[in-house]
Structure 1
Amino acid sequence: MKPWLVVSALGLTQIIGYGTLYYSFSILAPAMSRDFAWSAEWTFGALSAALLIGGLAAPWVGRRIDRHGAGRVMSVGSVLAAAALVACALAPGRIAFVFGLIAIEVASTFVQYSAAFALLVQLRPQAAQRSITHLTLIAGFASTLFWPITAALHAHLTWQQVYLVFAVLNLAICLPAHAWLSRAMRRPRGPGPATAVATPATPVEGRLHPSRRPIAFALMVTGFALESFVNAAILVHMLPLLAALGLGAASVLVGTLFGPAQVLSRLTNMVFGGGLPQVTLAVISATLMPAAALLLLGTAPWLIGALAFAVVFGLGSGLNSIVQGTLPLELFGSDGYGERLGRVTSVRLVVSSAAPFAFAFLMHTVGTGWALLVTAIFGSVAVLAFLGIVQLSHRRGHGDPEPLAMGAQD
């Protein structure tokens, strides 16, 4: 199978997966609140609870990925995603709606980045770092496409009907693509037709000495969890946040810059970042995100400042999406990658699950400015966590392996 075909197929399914299961929520949430007679805080609190339970399911999904293959798990996930969207759309009341949201977040762990990254590692471990960068480059358009798509659909359809349309997308596009990838992963490796999987996979060894891995893993999980809190808090509330700061009709324009900025960061990394350690990229990503929040806080409601915020935040978020997949591979290797990434995803989602409710609560009780400041402080702690991994990486001792250049092959 040609690598570019794999990445292209996964890129399409990631755009649809993130667009339908995640980015659409902030557009549809006000209508959901009206239908269920809930405040915005309670609606986003339901999302937080769903994210929490989805995070708890992630390690179990990671073990299934290692045991059965990421392609098969993602195929099942496409069906689950469609069923969850339908369940949410047809929910007769609040309790059924919350269970539908929980199903959506559990299905997300089957089909979004963690599973897609694992598929790339399982197919070609030595080239996975570069493939992950290419994948996130394509998937970065999810918000740019699905915020306006969701808004346009919602102008003519109810939120329930929009979810039903999105369920069809997961069944009609994502399921066939994931099933095709699953069949390709089961083909015998070695000589064969040009479309078959190329050469047997050579595992990647982690660069960290085993004695340093527990503390490095704890620091990495902490950094990713806090970054995800910042990302979820701002992204879920992006348009309401900008409107509250006085941007008004320009909020949608500012929001649409986020996706291209993500793509720009990934393209820049692909062209110029090949020689940088992934932990350095993690530090850069973690620094950009709180810096963006402070930039917005200091310049609102100035439009140019808001546009700069969207670009800087998108750059940080774009790099973060890459290093969530490449840093665990660089530090710990490809053996057990699916389960390891599932554990990272679990903690990351559990922590970030509080973000939608917490940010909405802070905006309502102490104001938008304080909400942004608290979020920036969380992001700053993530910077310190990744700097700790830098120190561990540079403190070489007897028996430490040489750093790997994983991006050498493609």
Structure 2
Amino acid sequence: MKPSVRAVALLGLTQILGYGTLFYAVVLTAPRIAETFGWSKATGLGGFSLGLLVAGLASPRVGAMIEVHGGRKVMAAGSLVATLGLAAMSVVNGLAGYLAVWALLGLAMSMTLYDPAFATLGRLFGAAARTRITALTLIAGFASTLSWPVTLWLVETVGWRGAYLAFAAATLLLALPAHLLLPREGSVQPDIPPAEAGQASAIDPPATGSLEAGIRRKVFLLLALSFSCNAFLFIGLSAHLLAALIALGLPAVTAVAVGTLIGPAQVGARVIELAFARKTHPLGVALVSAGLIPLAFAVLVFAGVEPVPAAVFAVIYGGSNGLVTIVRGTLPLALFGADGYARLLGRIARPALIVGAAAPFAIGAVIDAGGPAAGLTLAFVAGCLSFSALAGIAVLLRQRCSFVVR
């Protein structure tokens, strides 16, 4: 098996396990845990927000570690941290322990999820990592589809404590070996065909990497702003979208059915990107992904919260999220190059994860004060800010970076 195929397949497995156990499962487990201890649902989800906060704070350091030691060792260590945290969750007996475990799981997130995986591919394949990043997101896009039914079955069968023990076992027995089997840095260059390497170099034009310090700093800040607004939008709405649609008049069964369209739309958008946009500069893909958000909300505004418009909204919104995930890995690589890529991803992830941690509370507070329409409006504003930041990058680089590789 080629090193590139092996790396993507192994990381795909670990991303499904990581997102399934550390990210998506909390939607089903947090309410059960809160009920067990008599907490509010907000308290139960507060642990998850703490985990995102810790992940954001730790991400720059993790990126620096990957830059020095390589993703194989760092992600394997992250699997051990995740195993410990998931096992500890099964025996928590109070709020202090619960929050402490989530802090540990936040550290595991920073070492095992998309950002370190993208950094690992960047370290292995350099500028040619773009197609590998897209392929990885295609595999990982099935994390929620697979994890929610499995988590629900475990919770119903063995309870939430048993579910977390199962998560710990799966991480130890599957994710850890997969990380250890990743190719070593320096062993994959012969696997990159010359034609592909040339294409990757065009995606990362030398002029972009040689920007003067002032321009580079502006580009970095705008990129961090865009990614942070995306995190606010998508993490915030993941906690409130279905409830907001129901509150606006959509039947609960219909709202759930609409929500199920988001996952396939994410994967579909990634397939389209891989098939038709491989020669489009990642900044062009980023602008399209951010531009889809105003379009999605426009459907609800002009067509109303009815089943068909809501379904169209979900497809466009999901497609945008699917592309944004790819852009998180490919755009920094294209703008700044492979040198220092892991460290850069860690620096960009810090504000995005911190803002994402606050998003459910912020949007929830706005909904409580002004209703579901106000919460959706706040998410819409975040999407517009994301697009504006990317447009600012395009203006800064208009003479240095072509949207289409020639």
Q: Report deviation, 1:172.
A: 1.5
Counterpart of 2:13 in structure 1 is: 12
**Among the aligned pairs, what percent are the same residue?**
37
Please tell me whether the aligned partners of residues 296 and 306 of structure 1 are also in contact (alpha carbons under 8 angstroms): yes
Contact 2:75–2:112 at 8 Å: present in 1 too? yes
Residue 194 of structure 1 corresponds to none
Once the two structures are superposed, the pairs formed by residues 177-326 of structure 1 within 5 Å of their partners are 177-181=178-182, 184-185=183-184, 207-208=207-208, 209-211=210-212, 212-245=215-248, 246-293=250-297, 295-296=299-300, 301-326=305-330
Find the aligned partners of 2:155 and 2:310 in 1 and give their Cα distance: 25
TM-superposed CA distance for 1:216, in Å, is 0.5
- C-alpha distance in 2 between matches for 1:150 and 1:242: 25
Deviation at 1:291, TM superposition (A): 3.9
Partner of 1:385: 389
**1:216 aligned partner, one-letter code:** V
Q: 1:312: how far off?
A: 1.1
State whether residues 124 and 186 of structure 2, in contact with CA within 8 Å, keep that contact through their aligned partners in structure 1: no
Is 1:51 matched up with 2:52?
yes
Q: Which amino acid aligns with 2:32?
A: A
In 1, Cα distance between the equivalents of 2:298 and 2:29?
Answer: 27
- Residue 361 of structure 2 corresponds to 357
SS at match of 1:354: helix
After TM superposition, list the pairs within 5 Å mapping 1:329-344 onto structure 2.
329-344=333-348
How far did residue 290 of structure 1 move? 4.7
Distance across 1 between alignment mates of 2:298 and 2:147: 26
Specify the code of the residue in structure 1 equivalent to 2:266.
Q
Contact 1:297/1:369 (CA < 8 Å) preserved in 2?
no
Contact 2:280 2:403 in 1 (8 A): no
Counterpart Cα distance in 2 of 1:164 and 1:297: 45
Aligned to 1:399: none
CA contact (8 A) 1:114 1:325 kept: yes
Query: 225-234 or 19-28, which moves further after superposition?
Result: 19-28
Q: C-alpha displacement at 1:347, in angstroms?
A: 1.1
Give the C-alpha shift of residue 206 in structure 1. 5.3
2:216 partner SS: helix
CA contact (8 A) 1:283 1:383 kept: yes
Change over 3 Å in CA distance of 1:379–1:179 after alignment to 2:
same
TM-score of the superposed pair, with normalisation by structure 1: 0.88
Match of 1:100 in 2: 101
Q: CA deviation at 1:39?
A: 2.2
Q: Which has the higher helix share?
A: 2
**Equivalent residue number for residue 350 of structure 2:** 346
What 5-or-longer segments of structure 2 have no aligned partner?
Answer: none
**CA gap 1:153/1:367 in 2 versus in 1, 3 angstroms:** farther
Distance 1:216 1:255, change over 3 A: same
Distance 1:301 1:150, change over 3 A: farther
Structure 1 unaligned runs (5+)?
192-196, 397-401
Mapped to 1, the partners of 2:314 and 2:217 lie a distance apart of 35
**1:373 and 2:372 are equivalent in the alignment:** no
The alpha-carbon deviation at position 395 of structure 1 amounts to 3.5
Provide the aligned C-alpha RMSD in A: 2.6
| 246-255 or 46-55, which deviates more | 246-255
Once the two structures are superposed, the pairs formed by residues 50-129 of structure 1 within 5 Å of their partners are 50-129=51-130
Query: Secondary structure of the residue that 1:218 maps to in structure 2?
Result: helix
> Alignment partner of 1:155: what SS?
helix
- 1:239-275: CA deviations, max 9, x gaps? 4445444431334432222111111111101111122
Aligned 8 A contact 1:142 1:259 in 2 = no
The offset of 1:74, in angstroms, is 0.7
How far apart, in 2, do the equivalents of 1:218 and 1:187 lie? Answer: 32
> 1:367 offset after TM fit, Å?
2.1
Task: State which drifts further: 333-342 or 142-151.
Answer: 142-151
Q: 1:207·1:403 contact (CA, 8 Å) conserved in 2? A: no
Distance 2:242 2:125 in 1: 39
> Are the aligned partners of 1:189 and 1:199 in contact in 2 as well (CA < 8 Å)?
no
